[in-house]
A and B are shown apart, each in its own frame.
Chain A
Amino acid sequence: SQELEQSPQSLIVQEGKNLTINCTSSKTLYGLYWYKQKYGEGLIFLMMLQKGGEEKSHEKITAKLDEKKQQSSLHITASQPSHAGIYLCGADITGTASKLTFGTGTRLQVTL
């Protein structure tokens, strides 16, 4: 079974709409990273969360880590075509602050 579950697997939203992507683990998330990837390209770092209850925002993207540090959400407000891509959550579930375990990704399409 996947150690890190991401949902939904794919998402199509109309431009201007809000959306949320979730990342859930059965293990404690010592560090949770959100990345964006365009198909066939590298990962773009979005945000890193470490503390339970932590919330960070950048432009129209907000990421949260729950108090139990087992679930994170990525929320995009007023989506734009530039938000389209694959969103991946990566987690440090070993506490080594090094290698990450990745979720399966969420493919986001934004329609006009």
Chain B
Amino acid sequence: GAVVSQHPSRVICKSGTSVKIECRSLDFQATTMFWYRQFPKQSLMLMATSNEGSKATYEQGVEKDKFLINHASLTLSTLTVTSAHPEDSSFYICSARRFGLAGDTNTGELFFGEGSRLTVL
């Protein structure tokens, strides 16, 4: 079953409104989660790294005021697309790493959520 869950899976909103997408790790704690964006028929591009209890780290070219990330707990990170415009329409996917029992940072599997498709009218 899924170990990382995203909600909503699909959302349609009007231009100018804000949309929040949630990413939850279901049976493990994730101090770090990652948000990716995928355009049609293209690969995933990392947008930002969400850090529990601290500010997110954004990749170059990603507007932090546009894409607000909050990681308030060890199992939940949220991405809010503020003042959405049609060009923000995309598929947003989050991921979290589940470490092995030994806590070795190099052995954890990286799981992805089901994705959230945002359509801005």
In the bound complex, CA of A90 to CA of B43 (Å): 10
Chain B contacts for A100, CB-based, 8 A? 34, 44, 46, 95, 110
Does B67 make an interface contact (CB < 8 A)?
A: no
Shortest C-beta distance, A34 to chain B (Å), equals 11
In the bound complex, CA of A90 to CA of B49 (Å): 16
Does B54 make an interface contact (CB < 8 A)?
A: no
Does B97 make an interface contact (CB < 8 A)?
A: yes
In the complex, the answer to whether B34 meets A98 with C-beta atoms within 8 Å is: yes
Chain A contacts for B110, CB-based, 8 A? 33, 45, 48, 90, 100
In the complex, the answer to whether B42 meets A35 with C-beta atoms within 8 Å is: no
Does B117 make an interface contact (CB < 8 A)?
A: yes
Central interface residue in A33, A35, A88, A99, by most chain B CB within 10 Å: A99
Within 8 A of B (CB), among A12-53: 30-31, 33, 35, 40-43, 45, 48, 50
Shortest C-beta distance, B69 to chain A (Å), equals 14
Q: A98-B49, A100-B46 are in contact. List 12 more A-B contacts (CB 8 A).
A: A41-B114, A42-B6, A42-B115, A43-B44, A43-B95, A45-B110, A45-B112, A50-B106, A88-B44, A100-B110, A102-B43, A102-B44
Contact surface of B with A, Cβ cutoff 8 Å: 6, 32, 34, 36, 42-46, 49, 91, 93, 95, 97, 105-115, 117
